[in-house]
Amino acid sequence: MELAVILDAIAAGIAVLDQDGRILAWNQWLVRHSGISEDIAIGRPLTEIFPELSSHPRMMESLHQSLSHCLASIISPSIHRPPLPLYRDGAKRQRQERLQQLIHITPIRINGLTACMLQVQDVTAAVQREQRLRDQSAELVVHNQQLNAQLQEIHSLQAEIAAREAQDPLTGVLNRRFIDKRLKALLQTGTPTTLMMVDVDLLKRINENHGFSAGDVVIQALATHLKNSLPSPGCSLGRYESDAFLLLLPDIALERSREWITQCHQTFVSQPVMHEGTPLSASFSAGLAFYPKDGASESELIQCLDLTLFLARHEGGNRILAYDDARNSMF
């Protein structure tokens, strides 16, 4: 059988080189894509046919390893530009657009001598497809990043809206709805808690003497003062009525809570609240109750606080009273 006929029929480039790198076989596929005829190629060193190969270290190394060490190599288009000047057609040749090449260099034995075979596959379509996929996936990554950024923005807006929903606009502490929710949650879990109702003394008089904005300033100052000195991060502070705040101190005993609010009271009354350059002296009263000792439900506990606060005011305000003290003084 004529071997050359088979070589010419193969849909890939096949060249066989002798020990010195001279071309022994050069199939039709190579003729077609290199523009170099078999007559010219046979007997010449491959590096003479393609002079630029000499400056391609990987190709030279692979040929050397094949011819002197009998080792096979693969040269893949994923990490190399096409090493050989092979073109699909005349137009591509003019534009210098080489076809993408997957090259196998394998040692073979011919008549007891080492030779090597070059197989060149045209993988242009696969490389282009790969490139398109890569471009698309790069676009997807960018798109994904944008979506993630937008999602993050939505989350932070949602968090901001949720925070605003929970906030009292004047003081920035929790509003009535949310402090109620916190109280309900603590009762549901049965967490022992000190409750406090804190009320600005004589707010009406401040409003009458200095205007409503002065009253607001005092309320703001008290809210800030309480918020900044809360005894633990688990404590909550909410505006319960226009001049009253509800504080929840979970897992803090009544006596410790009383010490804390007494300290708080002293520092608050010792410093005047400034309003439009005028110092206002302001004070507050606080009523304390303890869950579960003083009541089991929200309404019971709030009643205890109301009653205690009423007594504190009745006794002239500017004082701290616990529900126990209030009950003793009443009965």
Partner 1 sequence: MVVHDDRAMTIQVSDHQSDALAEIFNIGVGRAASSLSQIVNDEIGLSAPMVEFVPPDDIMRVMTGHEFDHLSMVAQEYTGPFDARAMLIFPEQNALIIVGKMLGDVVPPDQLGEFEQEAMCEVGNIILNACISSLADLFHVEFQGSLPTYQHATREDIDLLSGIRTDVPVILVIKVNLVIRQQSIQGHLLFLLSVSSLIELLAHIDRYLESLGLD
CB of 187 to partner 1, least distance (A): 47
User: Both tokens of residue 291?
Assistant: 């869950």
Is residue 76 part of the contact set for partner 1 (CB under 8 A)?
A: yes
Question: Are 203 and 213 a contacting pair, CB within 8 Å?
Answer: no
Is residue 72 part of the contact set for partner 1 (CB under 8 A)?
A: yes
Is residue 185 part of the contact set for partner 1 (CB under 8 A)?
A: no
Is residue 52 part of the contact set for partner 1 (CB under 8 A)?
A: no
CB of 108 to partner 1, least distance (A): 10
Among 6, 10, 128, 134, binds partner 1 (CB under 8 A): 134
User: Both tokens of residue 168?
Assistant: 């009292």
Is residue 75 part of the contact set for partner 1 (CB under 8 A)?
A: yes
Is residue 106 part of the contact set for partner 1 (CB under 8 A)?
A: yes
Please give the full DSSP string across 269-303, using - where no structure is assigned.
HHSPEEETTEEE---EEEEEEEETTS-SSHHHHHH
With CB under 8 A as the contact rule, which of the stretches 6-14, 75-83, 204-212, 253-261 interacts with partner 1?
75-83
- Say how far apart CA 38 and CA 30 lie, in whole Å: 9
Q: In this structure, what DSSP letter does residue 51 have?
A: G
Is residue 256 part of the contact set for partner 1 (CB under 8 A)?
A: no
Is residue 101 part of the contact set for partner 1 (CB under 8 A)?
A: no
Whole-number Cα distances in Å, 117 to 27, 73, 80, 92, 125:
12, 11, 20, 26, 24
CB of 46 to partner 1, least distance (A): 19
- Say how far apart CA 66 and CA 110 lie, in whole Å: 13
Is residue 34 part of the contact set for partner 1 (CB under 8 A)?
A: no
Is residue 102 part of the contact set for partner 1 (CB under 8 A)?
A: yes
CB of 115 to partner 1, least distance (A): 13
Q: Among 183, 199, 176, which residue's Cα sits nearest to residue 292? A: 183
Q: Residue 114 or residue 220: which is nearer to partner 1 going by CB?
A: 114
Among 19, 37, 54, 78, binds partner 1 (CB under 8 A): 78
Q: Residue 128 or residue 278: which is nearer to partner 1 going by CB?
A: 128
Residues linked to residue 174 through DSSP beta bridges, in sequence order = 167, 238
- 3-state helix/strand/coil string of 192-222: CEEEEEEEECCHHHHHHHHCHHHHHHHHHHH
The residue ranges that bind partner 1 (CB under 8 A) are 57-58, 61, 65, 69-80, 102, 104, 106-107, 126, 130, 134, 137-138, 141
